[in-house]
Amino acid sequence: MKSVLASIVVMTAVVVTAASTQNAPPATGTDIYHVMFTKAAPGQAAELAKVLVTPDTTAPMPEHFIVLRHQEGDDWDYVVIQHLGPKAEVVGTPPAQNPARPLTAWHNDTFASGPGWGEFSKQMAIGGSAGSGSPVYVIGVHRAVAGHREQLQAALSAPGGASDKIESGNVLLQHVEGADWNLMTLTRYNSWQDLGNDRAGLSSASASTPGGWADIRQHSAFHRDTIADRLFPVAK
């Protein structure tokens, strides 16, 4: 993505490395991701999208990112999640030009730890035959009740009553530095129909179901959920 880190300016160089805390499969905190939620300036959504989906050819791994577009939920228009490898360095010298700046109303940035790009791609249906169709995503951000972060992580990693007949992909990212959330969930469905069927099953799960509605709300101080489709990589 063009200038995905362009708006992060600090006074000294900072090196961010993945935490050693282990998540429940399939997410393990081996690599660093840059997560940017952004809202377009009025009338600039289409132009901002063009900038966000353009790979930065100067980046070490220019194709290692995903751009999701808001459909229902929170106030952002796009979320860009870029894989940075096992560590990331933020330097105090900003780039000469950031084409997204005049097109953007606001954005926020967070570094998070998650699985390697191979596992992330598999779960999010990126690349090869997995990149076909019209995938739909549910993005959730949570902040744990004080002292309940491990319990919330376990609840978010549990099936929650989801049907084993519906194929989905799941990634859990853990906050390292940035926004006010602790954990971010990404769930991929192959179609809107699969999303609807899965939500129907989840809503009928009993109150005692691990990872179900009641279980998560014992441990989450706040959360925001958004349904999105994918702009990049383009589904084939």
- How far is Cα 35 from Cα 9, in angstroms, rounded to an integer? 15
Please write the tens of the pLDDT for every residue from 50-101.
Answer: 999 999 887 789 999 999 999 999 999 999 999 999 998 877 877 678 899 9
d(CA 74, CA 83): 23
For the chain, the straight-line distance linking the first and the last C-alpha, in angstroms and rounded, comes to 19
Q: What is the per-residue pLDDT for 131?
A: 54
pLDDT of residue 19: 46
Total-model pTM: 0.86
| Predicted local confidence at residue 162, as pLDDT | 65
pLDDT of residue 16: 54
Q: Which whole-number Å values give the CA distances from 191 to 111, 138, 188, in the listed order?
A: 29, 12, 9
List of the chain residues with pLDDT < 50? 4-14, 19-27
Domains and CATH numbers, the chain: 15-115 (3.30.70), 121-232 (3.30.70.100)
Give the count of alpha carbons within 13 A of 39, CB side only. 6
